[in-house]
Structure 1
Amino acid sequence: MVVKAVIFDMDGVLVDSEKFWTQAELDVFSSYGVQVTDDLAEQTKYMTTQEVTEFWYKRFPWENFDASDLENKVVTRVIEMIQTENCTMSGVEKFIKNLKNKDYKIGLATNAPLRVAHAVLEKLQIHDLFDTIHSSEFENQGKPHPAVYLTSAKNLGVSPEDCIAIEDSQSGLKAAKEAGMQTIIFTNNDENIDSNLADFKILNFNTVFLPLFVE
């Protein structure tokens, strides 16, 4: 295998932002009478924003439901926290710059809306390092469906078999695997994360040896 492109997930890989989505759900949906419990919020963890909105509405329906307005409120709240909180994964900027210097094409494939992705890349000041930025909001299904990865590979002009995806979840790993890519799980120093779908493992971006995945 000759890796030509590296495609990153965003939440939990570039930024430690999953807690922001949970907080945004609590802030927004609680105001409509939704009982946002930890157990239920765990189920929405890897959904698209549209799927999250539908999830809560089905369980706690309320009057004057406006899905688009709710999604916008959640996304806006998340972006506010990304912009103001310290959430960057240590060493990730240098890691991506090293990949770029080795002539890998760089992509971003996320279930989050595109404007969140742009906010993250602007915060990290690495927007210009990415050759493609793609969101599941433009696909019929989000991860674990492989569509977002297949489109990202197409946008990069690289065969999926020549791409490797960096993910932090089983849902994301499954999406990349079904797209035909090799996978790296980023654990953020958590040794207990299930990595059975991953070909490689990165504990953190400060100690990884490049090229990790070149045979």
Structure 2
Amino acid sequence: MTLKAIIFDMDGVLVDSEGFWAKAELDVFSSYGVQITDELAAQTKYMTTQEVTEFWYDKFPWENLNVSSVEQEVVSRVIEMIHSEDCAMDGIKEFIKTIKDKEYKVGLATNAPLRVADAVLEKLQIRDYFDAVHSSEFEKQGKPHPAVYLTSAKKLGVEPKHCIAIEDSYSGLKAAKEAGMKTVVFTNDNETLDFEIADFKILNFKEALLPVL
């Protein structure tokens, strides 16, 4: 392949923020009478924020507030934690700068709402490195559907076959694969994490360069 663009997932790749989502959802949904269990929460792990909120509303419908308002409470809570906690993945800023210095295009494709992506890019001070930022909230379906990746490639002006996606989940890898891209699984130094669907693996951003660069 002729690589022209690298597209990053956000949660679990740019920032170690998945615990923020779990805490925010627990705090907000519980306040409206939702009885969250580990078993049910596991079913929501890779959903969009809207899908997660609708999931809990269907099981424990609350009164007086619509689903969108409660969803935005969760999003606001996550953004608060992004701003207040040290959540950047080690070496991520330098890794992206290296890619930009080699004149590849850089994109972000996330299931999270755009305002969370904005908060992350601001926190890490990496907005200027990104040529396109896209969220599944503007698609009919989130990952594992490929739409967010297909639109990201279009925004970058690069055909999917010339893109590589960096993901930390099977759901995200599947989305990128179905979009026609090569994939890298980022494990954050978890030696046991390995997805056969991925073309390459990166343990961390401090010691690794993309194998295809």
- Corresponding letter in the other structure for 1:139: E
**Farther-moved stretch of structure 1 (67-76 vs 38-47):** 38-47
Task: Give 1:42 shift.
Answer: 1.7
Q: How does 1:33-112 map to 2 (within 5 A)?
A: 33-112=33-112
Q: Which runs of 5+ in 1 are unaligned?
A: none
Q: Match of 1:138?
A: 138
CA-to-aligned-CA distance 1:1-21 (integer Å, 9 cap, x gap) = 011000000000000000000
1:14 aligns with 2:21: no
Task: Tell me what 2:25 maps to.
Answer: 25
SS across alignment from 1:45:
coil
1:176 corresponds to which letter in structure 2? A
SS of the residue corresponding to residue 115 of structure 1 reads helix
Cα distance in 2, alignment partners of residues 147 and 174 from structure 1: 11
1:87 aligned partner, one-letter code = C
Structure 1 residue 194 displacement after superposition: 3.3
Distance in structure 2 (CA, Å) of the matches to 1:39 and 1:12: 21
Equivalent residue number for residue 188 of structure 1 = 188
Bigger mean CA deviation after superposition, 185-194 or 173-182: 185-194
Give, in angstroms, the shift of residue 65 of structure 1.
4.2
Deviation beyond 6 Å, 4+ runs, structure 1: none
Please report the RMSD computed on the Cα atoms of aligned residues, expressed in angstroms.
0.9
Q: Offset at 1:175?
A: 0.1
The aligned residue for residue 212 of structure 1 is 211
| TM-score normalized with structure 2 length | 0.98
Measured in 1, the distance between the counterparts of 2:70 and 2:33 equals 13
Q: Conserved in 2, the CA contact under 8 Å of 1:170 and 1:194?
A: no
Per the alignment, residue 164 of structure 2 pairs with: 164
Q: Percent same amino acid among aligned pairs? A: 71
State whether residues 57 and 67 of structure 2, in contact with CA within 8 Å, keep that contact through their aligned partners in structure 1.
Answer: no
Deviations 1:110-131 (A, max 9, x none): 0000000010010000000000
- Count of residues in correspondence between the two structures: 213
Worse-superposed segment, 53-62 or 22-31: 53-62
* SS class of match (2:140): coil
Structure-2 separation of matches of 1:120 and 1:38 = 27
For structure 2, the residue ranges without an aligned partner over 5 or more in a row are none
2-structure distance, mates of 1:87, 1:44: 22
TM-score (norm 1): 0.97
In the other structure, the counterpart of 2:124 is 124
Counterpart residue identity of residue 128, structure 2: D
> 1:203 maps to what in 2?
203
